[in-house]
């Protein structure tokens, strides 16, 4: 993925889809995901969001 994220064609295609490719190591990616979960959890709580019952049920 690190090599692909340097390719101009790959960058152009993903950017046109609203995705900004970055080459990160596992630790940086884990930190990014942790921050995203924290931020979005706070936003959902502040908005009063309540999830609907899942249509998928375990048997």
pTM of the model: 0.55
* pLDDT tens by residue, 17-28: 998 877 778 898
* DSSP per position, 1-59: -TTGGG-HHHHHHHHHTT-------HHHHHHHHHHHHHHHHHHHHHHT--PPPPS----
pLDDT value for 2: 72
pLDDT value for 33: 93
pLDDT value for 5: 77
* pLDDT tens by residue, 21-59: 777 788 988 999 999 999 999 999 999 988 886 666 665
């Amino acid at each position: 993925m690190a090599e692909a994220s340097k390719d101009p064609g790959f960058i152009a295609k993903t950017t046109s889809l609203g995705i900004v490719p970055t080459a990160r190591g596992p630790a940086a990616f884990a930190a990014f995901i942790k921050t995203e979960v924290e931020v979005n959890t706070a936003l959902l709580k502040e908005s009063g969001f309540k999830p609907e019952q899942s249509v998928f049920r375990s048997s």
